Structure 1
Amino acid sequence: MRNILIVEDDKSQREVLKKMLQEVDEGLNIYEASNKIEAINIYSNVSIDIFCIDVHLGDSSGIDLALDIRKIKRYEFSWMVFITTNVQYMLKAFKEIHCYDYILKPYEKEDIVNLTKKLISSAYMGNAVANERKSTVFEIRKGINVKIYVDEIIFIETNIRICTIHTKKRKYEIKGLSLKSAVELINHKGIIQCHKSFAVNIDEVRKVEGISSKVYEIYFEDYQEKAFLGYKFKNIFMERFI
């Protein structure tokens, strides 16, 4: 049984998010707080697994609340997701608080469902510290960094001067990063280049189909977008795939 605390001062927004979370799993214990004092009372008496905190809480700051929560030993590495209307506010959250992700308003049900399923699954909840999970920090915008775990990467593509990292959570676009540099930064044997513009997580590949004598399409588990396999990378790729 997982305990989730929603800290959101807007009652209607809070109810919408709660309803979406309940649709993911009716067995979730969802606690609600409209301000910092209510939140403190709840997480002091109940062991919370996942915090969903609005960045702006009327007369207080959700980020300051999160910083206070991180000072508590048992919540030092708890999953923390921020609710915001602007990703620019996430700079401090990523740098100082080590939040897992953020939810943008207005809420997209699919995003909420997918994120929550991952957080409550045994694979992700078993060890919130994630010491053994390989990760890389990317600067997605000037001053805004995000930690991406290798086991969440599906594939990477570059187009002109934009590198897009497709993950199980969302897509991250990074300007000025080459495919070669991205692969070198990740530095993991499971991420292999398969085309001049693509690299894939070999563990996520479901099937490969030829569309010409020199180009093949790569399909993934539970992901609609495709990557491409170039002829000169085919032999090395197929050795790993088969």
Structure 2
Amino acid sequence: MKNILIIEDDKMLNKGVAFALQKEGYNVISAYTKQEGKKEIDNNEIDFLLLDIGLPDGSGLDLCKEIKNNIDFPVVFFTANDTEEDMIKGFESGCDDYISKPFSVEVLKFKINAILKRSDINAKKLFIYRDLKIDFDAKRVYKRDKEIKLSATEYKLLEILCKNKGKAMTKEILLDKLWDYNGNFVDENTLSVNIRRLRKKIEDDSKNPTYIITLFGIGYIIGE
């Protein structure tokens, strides 16, 4: 089931769109401010974002840029301003499409379905960062084209970090995502052990890691 996040401060519009999309089989998360939206993105795996440009605590354009610098999922703007200049600003910020207020829910559903279909077809199945390569379909990891053998938990942990390249992943988020993997209980100590094992396998110098970076007091990040 695809997760759609709506960041729109008009509560009636937000709830109405959420209801329509839930009937289509989507899991919908609603936020009403920029900060609420950022929190939901940090705590959930989002597949699609419907974003209002004018939010009470900041610009949707700025939020879109911020998101696209770290994660790549489709973004469609809600806007009452559909001038050529405004649309260009939106596309420059990284959005995938616009829908102008007021709009037809049927048209919105069509746009979402079409964009998600294209997104699935074009989804990256191969992650490459420096001399590290992960084939997500085959669940295989390579360093300088030599395969590295990982345990199931090590692979899942590396996959989560790589799919969120450039994004700080807190220990709480990682533990939540690893919680039920293969029915194993994962606590903070187990997480630390798996990070150490991963570093020994993928880092040139595990004591001075350059792939999996520790963010003290926060968690871990892969990439710049």
CA contact (8 A) 2:4 2:28 kept: yes
Residue 49 of structure 1 corresponds to 47
Residue 22 of structure 1 corresponds to 22
Residue 112 of structure 1, aligned match among 108, 114, 117: 108
CA shift for structure 1 position 120:
3.3
Q: Which is bigger in relative contact order (C-alpha 8 A, separation at least 6)?
A: 2
Residue 64 of structure 1 corresponds to 62
Residue 127 of structure 1, aligned match among 101, 122, 130: 122
Residue 85 of structure 1 corresponds to 80
CA distance in 1, matches of 2:19, 2:115: 17
- Work out the number of aligned pairs and report it: 122
Does the C-alpha gap of structure 1 residues 32 and 94 become closer, same or farther in structure 2, counting only changes over 3 Å? Answer: same
3-state secondary structure, aligned to 2:4: strand
CA distance in 2, matches of 1:124, 1:66: 17
Does the C-alpha gap of structure 1 residues 11 and 80 become closer, same or farther in structure 2, counting only changes over 3 Å? Answer: same
CA contact (8 A) 2:4 2:29 kept: yes
CA shift for structure 1 position 110:
2.2
CA shift for structure 1 position 105:
0.9
CA distance in 2, matches of 1:57, 1:87: 16
Unaligned regions of 5+ residues in structure 2, if any? Answer: 125-224
3-state secondary structure, aligned to 2:103: coil
Percent sequence identity over aligned pairs: 34
CA offsets 1:37-59 (integer angstroms, 9 cap, x no match): 11111101111111110010023
TM-score normalised by length of structure 2: 0.51
Structure ranking higher in strand proportion: 1
Q: Say if 2:108 is the partner of 1:103.
A: no
Residue 9 of structure 2 corresponds to 9
CA offsets 1:185-206 (integer angstroms, 9 cap, x no match): xxxxxxxxxxxxxxxxxxxxxx
CA contact (8 A) 2:4 2:47 kept: yes
CA shift for structure 1 position 128:
4.8
* Residue identity opposite 1:47 in structure 2: E
* Residue identity opposite 1:21 in structure 2: L
CA contact (8 A) 2:74 2:119 kept: no
CA shift for structure 1 position 6:
0.3
TM-score normalised by length of structure 1: 0.47
CA contact (8 A) 1:21 1:116 kept: no
CA contact (8 A) 2:64 2:94 kept: no
Unaligned regions of 5+ residues in structure 1, if any? Answer: 130-242
Does the C-alpha gap of structure 1 residues 99 and 11 become closer, same or farther in structure 2, counting only changes over 3 Å? Answer: same
* Residue identity opposite 1:109 in structure 2: V
CA distance in 2, matches of 1:107, 1:51: 17
CA distance in 1, matches of 2:67, 2:5: 12
* Residue identity opposite 1:67 in structure 2: K
Please report the RMSD computed on the Cα atoms of aligned residues, expressed in angstroms. Answer: 1.7
CA shift for structure 1 position 126:
3.2
Residue 159 of structure 1 corresponds to none
